[in-house]
Structure 1
Amino acid sequence: MSTTAVTSPRTAVTPLSTADAEILIAAARRAARAAGVAVSITVLDAGGHPLAFRRDDEAVLISGETSTRKAFTALQLNAPTADLVDLVKPDGPFHSLPTALDRPLLFIAGGAPVHREGRLIGAIGVGGGAPEQDHSFAISALKELT
């Protein structure tokens, strides 16, 4: 007698759209402006491709790169970068991860995965403020999308 595994079909989840990305950018900018912080914001789709990017005129130039790397890290590890910081410290279990891969990972708070119906559909990264500020701006943006 053979047994066949019964699997339920996965329902399609609407991918992150450019309209969604613009909502995230606008919400993160509002939060940053309210705090008086100039930032850069990057939104990536589930494949790691850029959907939207915005750098405030006054934001430090490197914030564009850090926002993108934070988003990429959050996407690849499906976790907010704020939750990963301690894992890559010298005594952390993943201390070699930042240098082990030839990938643009950045373990500084400010990146967050974007989920829809429990599925990973992209990520947002914010750079330009203190790490805790960038994290709060990204989380504020996520709350507006849902």
Structure 2
Amino acid sequence: MQRLDLLTATRIASHAIGHARETGFKPLAVAVLDAAGHPLAVLRDEHASFLRPQIATGKARGCLGMGFGGRELARRAQVMPAFFDAINSLTGGEVIPVAGGVLIRNAEGWILGAIGISGDTSDNDERCALRAIDQAGLVADHGDQPAG
């Protein structure tokens, strides 16, 4: 089975930060985790605040832990706040259910890992994640079903 490796994870993180800079987004931090939730690459733009890597990691961990992209996590957290409070209690507050957390899948749909990005709006964070995953030739799952 295909795995997410260090080189690919580092490229994804670098591409996400590069896209943010090209687009004029605020400085980002990016965390790319493997399918088991272990960090492969955590990069912070030198102008991003010091909490951004932890927030990015929380976005990615939430996606991996629940098996959904950040948009679906956000919807569920709104509907079931007590459940997500319990999840955060279990994980020591390491789940951040918002856009900007994206599952990374292969062409067959297997989860290879997840990316979390923090620094700009959640929508812009997600845009950077989607672009970076696409550049790596992998499939992004942000929690919304594709149109059509």
Structure 2 equivalent of residue 26 of structure 1 = 14
Unaligned runs of 5+ in 1: 1-12
- Give the conservation status (yes or no) of the 8 Å contact 1:82–1:135: no
Match of 1:132 among 92, 113, 123: 123
Larger % of helix: which? 2
Deviation at 1:31, TM superposition (A): 1.4
Unaligned runs of 5+ in 2: 138-148
- Give the conservation status (yes or no) of the 8 Å contact 2:64–2:113: yes
Instruction: Give the root-mean-square deviation of aligned CA atoms.
Output: 1.2
- Give the conservation status (yes or no) of the 8 Å contact 2:59–2:70: yes
Structure 1 equivalent of residue 140 of structure 2 = none
Question: TM-score scaled by structure 2?
Answer: 0.83
Q: Distance in 2 between matches of 1:78 and 1:14?
A: 18
Does residue 145 (structure 1) correspond to residue 131 (structure 2)? The answer is no
Give identity over the alignment, percent. Answer: 28
After the TM superposition, which segments of 4 or more aligned residues of structure 1 sit over 4 Å from their partners?
none
Deviation at 1:133, TM superposition (A): 0.6
Does residue 42 (structure 1) correspond to residue 70 (structure 2)? The answer is no
Q: Distance in 1 between matches of 2:19 and 2:27?
A: 10
**How many positions carry a matched residue from both structures?**
131
Q: Distance in 1 between matches of 2:49 and 2:69?
A: 22
Who wins on radius of gyration, i.e. which is larger?
1
Match of 1:97 among 83, 93, 98: 83
**Alignment-mate amino acid for residue 82 of structure 2:** S
Deviation at 1:83, TM superposition (A): 2.6
Does residue 108 (structure 1) correspond to residue 108 (structure 2)? The answer is no
